[in-house]
Amino acid sequence: MNVWDFLNRLGPGWPSQRGWYAAALCVQTCAILLMVAELPGLAENEFFKTLATAIVITGWVGFAVAGRDNRVDRDQVGQAQQLAAELIAHMRAQTQVGALPAAQEGGSRAGTE
């Protein structure tokens, strides 16, 4: 059982994992804005502005990506893994078939030299 299962068993009203993520992003954004309000010098500091913007945008982009339905991705990865397994099996079969004549051929050459 993970944290989200535990919270869901406690009863209604507890946010899902996505809800907690959204709440954390809101708190993070508000904290950055509160820092600017409390320390006006930060609003003029280019490094802080760049860093704050990067933190907020990265968080919101991550939120959008996390909310994406990943069933299609899992299906595509499963298909890719199946293709890779089939390719490996085919290559092993070719190697085993091709290895016998090469060994016999090499042995006959050694005897003629």
Summarize pLDDT for 41-98 with one digit per residue, the tens. 988 999 999 988 888 888 777 777 666 666 777 788 888 899 999 999 999 988 887 6
Does the pLDDT value for residue 110 go beyond 80? no
- pLDDT value of residue 69: 64
Judged on CB neighbours under 10 Å (0-12, 13-18, 19+), 56 is middle
Contacts 24+ apart (CB under 8 A), 65-72: 66/18, 66/21, 67/18
For residues 14 and 51, what is the distance between their CA atoms, to the nearest angstrom? 32
* Single pTM value for the model: 0.45
Q: Which of 65, 11, 55 is nearest to 32 (CA)?
A: 55
Number of H helices, E strands in the chain: 4, 0
